[in-house]
Structure 1
Amino acid sequence: MNFNKLYLKISMLAPKKTVKLISTLMEQGGFTLNPRILIGFTIYLTFFATLTVIFTTQLLSLNPTLQTLLPLATLIAIPGLLYTLIIITADNRARKIEELLPDALDIIAANIKAGMTLENAIWLAARPEFGPLRDEIKKVSADTFGGKPIEDNLQKMSERIRSETTKRAIQLIQEGIRLGGEMSKLLEEVAEDTRNTQMLKKQISTSTITYTLFIIFAATIMAPLLFSISTTYSQLSKNLAGMANTRNTGNLIQNIPFLGNNTTNTINPNDIFNFALESIIITNLLAGFIIGQIKYGKATRGLPYTPILLITSITIFLVAQQTLQILIQNLIK
């Protein structure tokens, strides 16, 4: 069975805007796979994975809340993870091109000074050490020698790279070509301007490291610790309330805040635990985006930090909760 044809048919279910967005991101990430095949595969995988989770939760007779949340989480997680992977790949590729662009512009300027035309100068600048930038230069040169205007080819190149710095540099080069300026001098100035921009970004990243550390500390350490205290306190209150029914501890229970003798209206500790876990996950997701915005000027650049933040914070939360419960049990004994 040809699964690619099946995936292509399934991809027809996706909205045109979604297909266009994924196609653009995959092109910016350097993927050679047909975007519709990936979209169809994602829909196919998500559908059967969600069905599997639904049947599994029914067989295990889990509580109704989990029977609803787990399939919903699967439905969101699989497309979300693939989309995140594409964005991270596109951003990493753009960052590599940004770092290599000034050197490539200097080589093109030197070739022009040596008497070459702009087209030949660009072609000879496609060196192996430039990696993804070399591929883009080759595409521009091939299209140019094929008869297409170089300005249009440069515009397409800027659209294939997910970088505002690169787009700005290409726009300056396009203006120079249209106005007929001295290209070698212009290219050298654009290369220097690009280097200054990169240096400025590094300085901003260094100067904002205090804010980054504070966000990491608050999201991964303080929030889990405080939530662990809340969940432990709620469990302790429930246990003491249960003891009040079998022992003469009415006065003790009465003095505990938010508990009293009426235990029918107290919040279930399991609900507090679920709320704490959900809050930690959301907090660390947002922390990753904020770190990316602060350090790199783009929220999606913080996505690689998110798994590390989530694993660390959830681990601290569970360990702290278990430690507090053991300590309290020893004290009660």
Structure 2
Amino acid sequence: MKKSNLMLQLTLITTLLGISLLIINLIFLSLFSLSIVSIFIIPTGFFVYQYMKYKENREIEERFPDFLRDVAQNIRTGMTIPQAITATKDTYYGALSTHIRKIVVQIDWGIPLDKILTDFANTTTKPLRRTVSTIIDTYRGGGDIASIFDSTGKSSVEINRINKERSSIVYNQMLTGYVIFFVFIGVLIMMQIYLIPSLKTFSSSEIGNTSTFSELGSFYADTFRMLIILQGLFSGLVIGKLSEGSIISGLKHSIILVIVGSLALLIFI
């Protein structure tokens, strides 16, 4: 299945599901929380696809140095560059294997190698595009291509190592984001459990009109639900940006926080 078709299908499914839930809720249930959930479901398919693409690109970045090292070794045995690349087609490189098999097929068709590599680079991330661009320039200039494959592979390994170190360094910041969210939930729950009932008690004793404050309590409960969902969503995205350098990577954190927040709402509010 082509990636564009997958994105279209996921987006269509979640959009139809979200709109259907929203219409059913507006006609039959009129639940504020369900309306919010329905609205958030609509773009879920697109974001899920983007996250899948992000994970695939990360795996390609991690396995690309292995591919470069194997190609360099094949070149040193006397193979030409196309032969060296073709010899790796049966080696498993995770998500990169699909791209390598496509490159091998294009080589068999007689497509110029620099065009093949350029097309491959255009489907990858910026760090890989820079690496492939260096390889293409060396290939066109007739330099020591085996050494370039080795050096670019080592550079890619170093970049991956730095990214992992950055993730470890900002781990405490990620934990801080979770703690802040849980504190936020706790504050809202305490307000709903203790503050709102106190206002109701005060109104019944001083004013004698409990209906207004009953409606006010329901309003605050709905507002707190919306705030927790919004806070969980955007806190997760920020955590992903801090820890992995990508907002899309924060989707998993957003899902965790929204689920935890929703469970807290069901239990306490």
Same fold (TM over 0.5): yes
1:239 aligns with 2:201: yes
Q: Secondary structure at the match of 2:111?
A: coil
1:224 aligns with 2:200: no
After the TM superposition, which residues 54-203 of structure 1 pair with which residues of structure 2 at under 5 Å, given as runs? 54-55=23-24, 57-60=26-29, 62=30, 66=32, 74=38, 77-78=41-42, 80-161=43-124, 163-203=125-165
- Contact 1:225 / 1:317 at 8 angstroms: preserved in 2? no
Aligned residues, how many? 268
The one-letter amino acid of 1:59's match is F
Tell me, in whole angstroms, the C-alpha distance in 2 between the residues paired with 1:41 and 1:184.
42
Q: Matched residues, percent identical?
A: 19
Q: Who wins on radius of gyration, i.e. which is larger?
A: 1
- Contact 1:102 / 1:192 at 8 angstroms: preserved in 2? yes
1:209-257 Cα distance to aligned partner (Å, 9 max, x none): 11111011101x10001111222302321233113356xxxxxxxxxxx
RMSD of equivalent CA atoms: 3.0
TM-score when normalising by structure 2: 0.86
Q: Alpha carbons of 1:89 and 1:126: their partners in 2 closer, same or farther (altered >3 Å)?
A: same
Q: Secondary structure at the match of 1:303?
A: helix
Unpaired segments ≥5 residues, structure 2: none
How big is the shift at 1:46? 3.6
How big is the shift at 1:282? 1.3
Tell me, in whole angstroms, the C-alpha distance in 2 between the residues paired with 1:309 and 1:96.
25
Tell me, in whole angstroms, the C-alpha distance in 2 between the residues paired with 1:45 and 1:298.
23
1:315 aligns with 2:268: no
How big is the shift at 1:105? 0.5
How big is the shift at 1:35? 3.4
Tell me, in whole angstroms, the C-alpha distance in 2 between the residues paired with 1:134 and 1:156.
16
1:300 aligns with 2:248: yes
TM-score when normalising by structure 1: 0.71
Q: Which has the higher contact order (CA 8 A, sep 6+)?
A: 2
